[in-house]
Chain A
Amino acid sequence: DVKVTQSSRYLVKRTGEKVFLECVQDMDHENMFWYRQDPGLGLRLIYFSYDVKMKEKGDIPEGYSVSREKKERFSLILESASTNQTSMYLCASRYDGTANSPLHFGNGTRLTVT
């Protein structure tokens, strides 16, 4: 079974802090994703990586950056956390970009910015 592990289940940070959310997958997947999930808004794509050191902006990249130095790890960075970034963050991975390659999700990191 594919395992996608997000390093923290809950995080509480202060406004202005630099925040790192880590995600690791154990199945040599090419593609990795960061989504944020908010009530009534569903999942919105922040960033997508289709290979090591390759990334593409999603629909809401403002205030975020990402890093993918190794294939198994995809980090989401909040350069200067703000209260409107309080949310649930979901990481996902898939083998490749073909249609029959499903996403595998981690259990999420609930971030609170005070």
Chain B
Amino acid sequence: AQSVTQPDIHITVSEGASLELRCNYSYGATPYLFWYVQSPGQGLQLLLKYFSGDTLVQGIKGFEAEFKRSQSSFNLRKPSVHWSDAAEYFCAVGRGATNKLIFGTGTLLAVQP
């Protein structure tokens, strides 16, 4: 069955440092992959998505992600983190004919001043 794994439950980085959040998926065909962000007390907001073409995708708020089929990964990156990036980040994969989204368990990002 299709699944998504986010191995890091909690990450702390310093403001201005680079960031990489890991996501691994299990899927037979070419997956539809997404990253969402959830700020405290809010619903989820789409950061970026991949479903074909260029394996490096750009998103909002300066985020990017790279699809690596050989590693079954879709890691999220940002070159310089801002305090406002503190949030929970979810990776998701579209599953089945109706493309239901299945989410990972999330990575909580804390940003130190």
Contacts and interface: CB of A to CB of B under 8 A. Distances in A.
Contacts of B44: 43, 90, 92, 103, 105
B105 A108 contact: no
Contact of B104 (A35, A42, A45, A108): A42
Interface stretch (A11-19, A61-69, A72-80, A93-101): A93-101
Interface string B69-113: 000000000000000000000100010011111111110000000
A99 B99 contact: yes
B9 interface: yes
A100 B51 contact: yes
Contacts, number: 60
Interface of A: 4, 31, 33, 35, 40-45, 48, 50, 56, 58-59, 90, 92, 97-103, 105-108
B28 interface: no
A59 B102 CA distance: 9
A42 B99 contact: no
Interface of B: 6, 9, 32, 34, 36, 41-46, 49, 51, 90, 94, 97-106
A99 B42 contact: no
A90 B43 contact: yes
B51 to A, nearest CB: 4
A104 B87 CA distance: 17
Given A90-B44, A99-B94, A106-B43, A43 B51 contact: no
A102 B99 contact: no
